[in-house]
Amino acid sequence: MKKFKIYGLNLFVVLIFISGLFISCERNIDINLPEPEPMLVVDGFIDHGDYARVTISRSFPYFEEINLTDISSLQQIFVANASVFLSDGVITDSLVFTIDPTSFPPVYYKGTNPALIGQAGKTYYLTIYAEGDTITSYTTIPPLIYLDSIYWKPDPQAPYKGFGWGHLTDPDTMGNIYRLFTKRQGYPYYVAAGALSDKNFNGTSTAFSFSRPDPLPFYIPNNLPEDTARFYFVKGDTISVKFCTIDYRSYEFIRTYTSAASSFGNPFSAPTFIKSNVNGAFGGFVGYGATYYQYVVPQ
Amino acid sequence: MLFVVVILVLQTKITAQNTERDKATVSGYVKDKETGETLIGANVFLKENKKGAVTNNYGFFSITSEKGNYTLVVSYLGYKNYEMSLDLSKNQTVNLELETSAITTEEIVITDERSDDNTQSTKMGQIELKIEEIKKVPALFGEIDVLKTIQLLPGVKGSGEGNSGFYVRGGGPDQNLILLDNAVVYNAAHLFGFFSVFNSDAIKNVNLIKGGMPANYGGRLSSVLDISMKEGNMKKFSGDGGIGLISTRLTFHGPIKKEKASFLISGRRTYIDLLLLPFSGEGSPLNGNSYYFYDLNAKINWQITPKDRIFVSGYYGQDIFSFKSPSSDLRIDIPWGNGIATMRYIHTFGNRLFMSTTFAFTDYQFQTKANTGDIGFNLFSGIRDYSAKMDWDWVPSSKHNIKFGADYTFHEFTPSTATAQFDSTIIEPGTRQKILAHDFALYVLDEWDITPWLKVNAGLRFSYFQHTGPFKRFVKDQDGFNTDTIEYGTLANIADYARLEPRLSIRFRINENISIKAAFTQNYQNLHLANLATVSLPTDIWLPSTSIIRPQLARQYSLGYFHNFLNNMLETSVEIYYKEMYGLVEYKDNSSFAQIVADNPDNILAFGNGRSWGAEFFFKKRLGKITGWIGYTLSWTQRYGFNKEEINYDGDFFYPRYDRRHDLSLTVSWDIDKKKKWNVAAVFVFSSGNVLAVPTRFYFVGNTIVPQFDDRDNFRMQPYHRMDLSVTYQLHKNSKWSSNLNLSIYNVYSRLNPFFVYFDIETDENTNTIKFQGKQVSLFPIIPALTWNFSF
């Protein structure tokens, strides 16, 4: 999964090198665009073995400043008065608004009916009524596929740190798609580390590495202690991994929104266009065939 | 097709025979007296009846006229006019040698009666530049650059700050056919486009065709840039060179056997890496970083008999780039380069038939190697062409100039092969899959003086392109997963396209100084280049037409008004054009090179159409102390008809980055004193800003901030403008040794032009707020450069 990052990174590095090689200059510019209509955004998922969770939020004009801790702006970001229904085609359940400060986003609608706990192989339908809009989506949790193992390998130059590694034997059928989440001890929730289809390694046994993602949507170096091991796991860490299978529509959504999020106008990246699997709003609804792993990096 | 050729040839032969008895032909070569170098584009004519010709790429001309006594005149910019009396009672060959004019050209103007190619020929959208004109233009870092100079012409737009890439009349960079001594150059740039591969000391002449492309050229939709290398001094050993801010160049040329055979060898190397060496010691952020490029040009020219001549020429150039991250063990190496070799044989049959045969080989390779710890990534792409070409130039009568020929190229593409290595696992998805293709063309054209006021250039080109095996096609389901593969054997015909390309241009002469021209061209293109990023990179991959990619088609209609003033001292023209293009290629949104692994690269392309229209104004002062030109273009370029699931845009069309509403350039060169000791030159350019996709909204998905793009062209960057100046002082000038000092100042008023714009999240740790900020990166402020040039 690391493979994909390296290439994007290297062109950006080249760009920085060129800018440095010549005498370049950077300055802030104002970009005035017509104010867009705010749109609703669905960020929903259902794990195998867990209740569905759906966050509904609003989009903001791209150059608007927002506050992430202020209650009034949180109220502006998140929608609390929606009606959210989940169905497996037989049973329908209404999801309940929940506030959970240990999670990000800290608010979501959560399932309560044990009959609608996610099950691999089943398709789930989502219907939302919010602010006069009707939003629909569906997703399928694919069959579970287990990792052979997870482990850690020291960086040859700095052996106190290293990437996490996994070993996977991909089944013979083409079209399996995986998404990996990880966290280190002390963090309350899993953070996504990448999504990958088996297009290039169908039916093979493969080792892959994963880095430790930043836990927050933005990174404020001044607020955190000096972190020389950013992106790495260090000796003594407990690496937790949530390894998931996802369906193709979910993958297209994840692939396109993560690519958009990492481009930031980087002129070396391709234009991005997010392929939502939701009708009537931005965002996505993803079913995860989730399995869990843990590895303690020896001291 | 052959049938058409035969009919045309026979017909002209019959008409020619009727009047043959009363006519005779004079033919020959026009050369520089001092060096023996042939002169391209010189005007040769009979003073009495103004019948004449322009020398071709080999300096050859042929004029047929009624028998009688004439004065033969040759005129060529920068040379003294040549006159000789000619008894044209029988066919004859003459070799004419012109002397350079040491004095200011003003006095010569009076006798320069036949420099009216601008209004006389059927040429439209064609501009010829001599290397001497190019050398007068101020240059970035003092590096004279052919490709940057042609960007100063109307209808040609530069691809970005300091970049040698160019767009012609709304076409992409892949739609320009760049030829060096008849061989195709695929990536004509060094250092990600900042310098072109053409070393000005090795170049003689540059001819740009942006519209009204005659039938002897083909394979690209938008333009031809035909560059001829110098042949080398036939008379004495000599050399040129220069020491500049970032590079040094040196050229030697001379006779191998006097008046019979000559050679030229020319080299150039940058030394940015050497200049940075003192600053890149252990611990420096520059440690492990290195960049340089070099070029080598060589040519041998052998006049076997007065009728036979052989040229062998070659180019080899490479860029070496390496990067080492100061904060991690990431290491990147990117070598890329071109190799080109051509062998040409020219022969004249009698006085009226000229033949040239070319064998050419082109090789372009690009590689990226990235390593960090246990993880490695290696990407390779390349193109190799083997081609053979035969061109005939026939002047059957004084009214016809017929050209015909055939062209065959075998293409070998290695579009992109990536290997990745994780720990001990190496992912090598199959062997390097090559794409092979046959590319064949036949053409015939006749430039026909129907009446003194009407001249027509009518031509037809037939092209046949075949994607051939071996090849492995990955068959996809709707989600893009491989469901099957089809294996094609060697020589299998996987896809083929036979196309006809009619070309027509007409000149109506209103009077001595004014003409109106009209042209229609239809072109097909079977080689495609899609840019993954918004800037052109050496990583951009060329692909041939396949069963998925169909040939690109362009139809161009143009109309022009040409007016010369003051005895042809001033040339002016206005051209309007409309160009429609079909089957253009773009990468689908969200594409990445990684997707090409274990796949056919054409599977990630999207196809659509384009159109471009505009008006080009050109004003050129050819002669005098002050020379130069002003070009202004008003144009529109649009793309439409793409599948919106693959390429996201709002409305019926979008403006691609080739769209610039206004484009103005002004070039002036002033010889201050009569002896030409001092020369001052200036360039001013202005063009509308590039279009850019800017996100309109952002939102959260999990812990990620996601930008939402609604359109591809919702923002235009600030306009680009810049002024450059140069001053040249002649230190010495005599027949043995001359040298000059050139001070070039790029961007005199230090305008911070946008190179690119990106968006950065600004966070405030006290208030916990986030905000996106647009950042504009500019590359070059004012940059002075001093270069010492010499020749002996």
Residue B763 to residue A220, Cβ atoms within 8 A: yes
DSSP states of B345-368: EEEEETTTEEEEEEEEEEEEEEEE
B472 touches B485 (CB < 8 A):
yes
Query: How far is the alpha carbon of A272 from chain B, nearest alpha carbon, in Å?
Result: 5
What letter represents residue A199's amino acid?
K
Residue B759 to residue A30, Cβ atoms within 8 A: no
Interface test with A, best of B372, B588, B699, B716 (most A CBs within 10 A): B699
Query: How far is the alpha carbon of A115 from chain B, nearest alpha carbon, in Å?
Result: 26
Of residues A36 and A143, more confidently modeled: A143
**Domains, chain A, ranges and CATH?**
40-140 (2.60.40), 143-276+288-296 (2.60.40)
Q: How confident is the model at residue A10 (pLDDT cuts 50, 70, 90)?
A: very low
Using a CB-CB cut-off of 8 Å, the residues of chain B touching A57 are 699-700
CB pairs under 8 A between A and B: 287
Could you give the CA distance from residue B247 to residue B257 in angstroms, rounded to a whole number?
Answer: 32
Interface test with B, best of A64, A79, A199, A224 (most B CBs within 10 A): A199
Could you give the CA distance from residue B146 to residue B197 in angstroms, rounded to a whole number?
Answer: 9
Sequence-separated (6 or more) residues with CB below 8 Å from residue B329: A155, A156, A157, B371, B372, B373
B641 touches B654 (CB < 8 A):
no
- pLDDT-above-90 percentage for chain A: 46
Structure tokens at B697: 């909204």
Of residues B7 and A145, more confidently modeled: A145
Using a CB-CB cut-off of 8 Å, the residues of chain B touching A256 are 589-590
Nearest to B425 among A64, A207, A248 (CB): A207
pLDDT for position B299:
94
Taking only residues 321 to 360 of chain B, the set having a beta carbon closer than 8 angstroms to any beta carbon of chain A reads 321, 323, 325, 329-330, 332, 334
DSSP states of A203-256: T-EEEEEE----SSSS--GGGS---TTTT-EETTPEEEEEEEEE-HHHHHHHHH
Residue A156 to residue B329, Cβ atoms within 8 A: yes
Give yes or no for B771 touching A (CB within 8 A): yes
Query: How far is the alpha carbon of A156 from chain B, nearest alpha carbon, in Å?
Result: 6
pLDDT for position B20:
61
Domain coordinates of chain B in residue numbers? 2-106, 126-221, 225-791
Interface test with B, best of A4, A29, A31, A72 (most B CBs within 10 A): A31
Could you give the CA distance from residue B215 to residue B280 in angstroms, rounded to a whole number?
Answer: 53
Using a CB-CB cut-off of 8 Å, the residues of chain B touching A282 are 699, 706, 708
Using a CB-CB cut-off of 8 Å, the residues of chain A touching B761 are 218
Residue B372 to residue A258, Cβ atoms within 8 A: no
Residue B780 to residue A22, Cβ atoms within 8 A: yes
**Residue B703 — left, alpha, or beta (φ > 0 → left; ψ -120 to 50 → alpha)?**
alpha
Could you give the CA distance from residue B433 to residue B743 in angstroms, rounded to a whole number?
Answer: 49
Residue A29 to residue B594, Cβ atoms within 8 A: no
Q: What is the chain A residue with the closest CA to B766?
A: A223
Mean pLDDT, chain A, rounded, equals 83
Residue A36 to residue B700, Cβ atoms within 8 A: no
Q: How confident is the model at residue A220 (pLDDT cuts 50, 70, 90)?
A: very low
Is pLDDT of A197 > 70? Answer: yes
Residue A60 to residue B699, Cβ atoms within 8 A: yes
Residue A157 to residue B783, Cβ atoms within 8 A: no
Q: How confident is the model at residue A3 (pLDDT cuts 50, 70, 90)?
A: very low
Using a CB-CB cut-off of 8 Å, the residues of chain B touching A215 are 703
Using a CB-CB cut-off of 8 Å, the residues of chain B touching A258 are 704
Using a CB-CB cut-off of 8 Å, the residues of chain B touching A105 are 700, 702
Give yes or no for B186 touching A (CB within 8 A): no
Using a CB-CB cut-off of 8 Å, the residues of chain B touching A206 are 422, 425, 427
Ramachandran angles phi, psi of B182, nearest 5°: 75, 0
**What would the mean pLDDT of A140-148 be, rounded to a whole number?**
96
CA quadruple B112, B51, B57, B186: dihedral, nearest 10: 90
Q: What is the chain B residue with the closest CA to A275?
A: B645
B477 touches B483 (CB < 8 A):
yes
Using a CB-CB cut-off of 8 Å, the residues of chain B touching A255 are 590
Using a CB-CB cut-off of 8 Å, the residues of chain A touching B752 are 25, 27
Q: What is the chain A residue with the closest CA to B419?
A: A3
The CATH number fitting domain B225-791, selected from 3.20.20.10, 2.40.170.20, 3.30.390.10, 3.30.530.20: 2.40.170.20
Q: What angle do CA B593, B595, B597 make, to 5 degrees?
A: 90
Interface test with B, best of A102, A180, A264, A278 (most B CBs within 10 A): A264
Nearest to B422 among A199, A207, A217 (CB): A207
C-alpha distances (whole Å) from B133 to each of B130, B158, B230, B243 are 5, 19, 15, 20
Give yes or no for B259 touching A (CB within 8 A): no
CATH 1.10.10.10, domain B2-106, yes or no: no
Sheet harboring B52-54: ordered strands across?
Answer: B52-54, B43-46, B68-75, B82-88
Nearest to A43 among B329, B700, B779 (CB): B700
The residues facing A178 across adjacent strands are: A196, A245
Using a CB-CB cut-off of 8 Å, the residues of chain B touching A175 are 477, 479, 481
Write the DSSP symbol of residue B38.
Answer: B
**ipTM of the assembly?**
0.89
Q: Which portions of chain B are predicted below pLDDT 70? A: 1-21, 102-117, 192, 275-289, 325-330, 372-377, 416-432, 532-540, 592-598
Is pLDDT of A218 > 50? Answer: no
Interface test with A, best of B647, B700, B705, B717 (most A CBs within 10 A): B700
For chain B, helix, strand, coil in percent to 5 are 10, 60, 30
Using a CB-CB cut-off of 8 Å, the residues of chain A touching B774 are 28-31, 63, 265
Could you give the CA distance from residue B727 to residue B729 in angstroms, rounded to a whole number?
Answer: 7
Task: Look at chain A and count its residues.
Answer: 299
Nearest to A25 among B368, B696, B778 (CB): B778
Residue B535 to residue A66, Cβ atoms within 8 A: no
pLDDT-wise least confident of A3-7, A242-246, B529-533: A3-7
Query: How far is the alpha carbon of B704 from chain A, nearest alpha carbon, in Å?
Result: 5
Query: How far is the alpha carbon of A270 from chain B, nearest alpha carbon, in Å?
Result: 5
The residues facing B507 across adjacent strands are: B455, B517
pLDDT for position B103:
45
C-alpha distances (whole Å) from B680 to each of B47, B245, B739, B742 are 36, 19, 16, 10
Nearest to B481 among A70, A165, A199 (CB): A199
Q: What is the chain B residue with the closest CA to A37?
A: B697
Write the DSSP symbol of residue B293.
Answer: E
Q: Which residue has the tokens 């040859």?
A: A156
Instruction: Tell me the three state secondary structure of residue A65.
Output: coil
C-alpha distances (whole Å) from B790 to each of A119, B143, B201, B267 are 80, 15, 11, 15
Give yes or no for B274 touching A (CB within 8 A): no
